[in-house]
Amino acid sequence: MIPVLIGFSGFFSASETVITGASRAQLHNEEKKHDTRATAVRILQEKFGPTLSSILIANQLINQSVAAVATWLAIELWGESVLPVTAFLFSLLVIIYAEILPKLVVIQNPTQYALTFAHVLTVICKLLRPVTHFLEATARFSLRLIGLKIRFVESSPISDDELRGAIDLHAAGGIEEERERLMLRSILDLHEVTVGQIMVHRKKLEMIEVSQNAEDMIIKILDCPYSRIPLWKENRENILGVLHVKTLFRALQEVKAEASTVDPISLAAPPWFVPESTTLSDQLQAFRMRHEHFALVVDEYGTLMGAITLEDILEEIVGEIVDEYDVAATGISVQSDQSIIVEGAVLIRDLNRRFDWDLPEEEVSTIAGLVMHKVRKIPAVGQKCIFPEFTIEVLKHQHNRISLLRISLQESQKDTHEY
């Protein structure tokens, strides 16, 4: 009798562990395969309060039964004088074989055991529902007497922090897992990063001035390594349109390459302006809805700040995408002493992604901007800016702009970073 009761107690102890420890993501995948056990576990987790109460009530009833039977047997066999020793021994048996051992077994794979226990637990919870409701109501009433109100909250969806933690654990396998981790974390970051943080700055933007003759314009357009080129007149803020090189090729083909008869301005599409505060998630959806790949970025005053492309957003997820026509990335040079020489216009986000750093990028987007934001002025050549893990030294100025810097790790950090 006692071994059977201890076995039931162990089942309920294990059930408490598997319901709390079962992976909702794995259960979701099993439920998509039409596994009714996964549906049952999901329902039990969603009604976690009543489920846990039912398990605890059943477990307590079993444990009380074990104590009662053990006491009766001890009195029948040895008399009342051995009750203290008997109570201690049976309590030890319950702790080891009904509490610790079952939990150690199921914790290795709680999801699989949850699927195994699912239908049995569902029946038990339904049978104990009246008792559970009565005891819960009594407990709530008692708490209300002392001024406390409490209610069971259904299990909440998986939070971003849980997802990020799971992704970090996923990276433990090797280089491929690390790449997957970076991609998955980048997807989660899409609703936090703005287009202003990753855009091509206006100083690096390839644009064509339309006041020159058509032949000169076409030559410059064909020499440009990009497929979409903004056209401007009088000043670079006055964007007339965006010319797709493929559209120009079609026009040249129609006129048998007579460039003088082609008007690039008439071939340009209207410019599309987006605020620099737009998140990458929203901008990605906008690209999909408009079936466009290129947008010009403006600040709150309508001033042109740069450009954003669909490829820029995809690179935030999968990393650098380089083809035979891309201009090689410049501005970052790793030195033999582990320091890094960077141009001032290099994006902080690019440095963080490449070297797995954590430089602050909330206030500014470029490394030069970070230094100026830190010191609240234009620093002199040779001036150093100290961060917890880094020292950034200004190497060169160009007018009032920081053009070159050196980033050095603090001595305590050098052994933990590899480039």
Lowest mean pLDDT among 53-57, 155-159, 323-327: 323-327
Describe the chain by its helix, strand, coil percentages, rounded to 5.
55, 15, 25
Owner of token pair 């654990």: 169
Looking at the fold, whether 21 and 103 belong to one and the same domain comes out as yes
Domain boundary among 265, 294, 318: 318
Looking at the fold, whether 260 and 353 belong to one and the same domain comes out as no
* 170 in Cβ contact with 181 (< 8 Å): yes
Torsion over CA: 287, 293, 299, 300 (sign): negative
Looking at the fold, whether 398 and 311 belong to one and the same domain comes out as no
Angle at 44 between CA 39 and CA 23, to 5 degrees: 70
- What pLDDT digit, counting tens, does each position of 328-346 carry? 456 788 888 888 899 888 8
* 44 in Cβ contact with 22 (< 8 Å): no
Give the confidence band of 261 by pLDDT, cuts at 50, 70, 90: confident
* 36 in Cβ contact with 28 (< 8 Å): no
- What pLDDT digit, counting tens, does each position of 79-98 carry? 777 667 777 777 787 788 88
Domain boundary among 82, 112, 145: 145
**Which residue(s) pair with 233 in the sheet?**
235
For residue 143, is pLDDT > 90?
Answer: no
Domain presence at residue 24: yes
Domain boundary among 110, 145, 180: 145
Domain presence at residue 288: yes
Looking at the fold, whether 82 and 28 belong to one and the same domain comes out as yes
Give the confidence band of 230 by pLDDT, cuts at 50, 70, 90: very high
Domain presence at residue 153: no
Looking at the fold, whether 291 and 336 belong to one and the same domain comes out as no
Question: How many domains, in total, are found in the chain?
Answer: 4
Looking at the fold, whether 304 and 371 belong to one and the same domain comes out as no
Take residue 277 and report the two structure tokens written for it: 């505060």
Looking at the fold, whether 203 and 83 belong to one and the same domain comes out as no
pTM here is 0.57
Looking at the fold, whether 399 and 282 belong to one and the same domain comes out as no
Domain presence at residue 411: yes
Of 182, 185, 269, nearest to 231 (Cα)? Answer: 269
Residue 408 buriedness (CB in 10 A; 0-12 / 13-18 / 19+): middle
Of 66, 58, 65, 50, nearest to 14 (Cα)? Answer: 58
Take residue 247 and report the two structure tokens written for it: 């559209």
Domain presence at residue 230: yes
Looking at the fold, whether 262 and 379 belong to one and the same domain comes out as no
Looking at the fold, whether 185 and 202 belong to one and the same domain comes out as no
Angle at 200 between CA 195 and CA 204, to 5 degrees: 160
Q: Dump strand ranges (E) for 269-331.
A: 273-275, 294-298, 304-309
CATH of the domain at 298: 3.10.580.10
Residue 360: alpha-carbon gap to chain centroid: 17
Looking at the fold, whether 203 and 314 belong to one and the same domain comes out as yes
Domain presence at residue 49: yes
Domain of 288, in residue numbers = 195-318
Lowest mean pLDDT among 142-146, 157-161, 313-317: 157-161
Decide: helix, strand or coil at residue 291. coil
**Rounded to 5 degrees, what are φ and ψ at 45?**
-70, -40
Domain presence at residue 43: yes
Domain presence at residue 326: no
Average pLDDT over residues 5-29: 84
Looking at the fold, whether 255 and 281 belong to one and the same domain comes out as yes
CATH of the domain at 348: 3.30.465.10
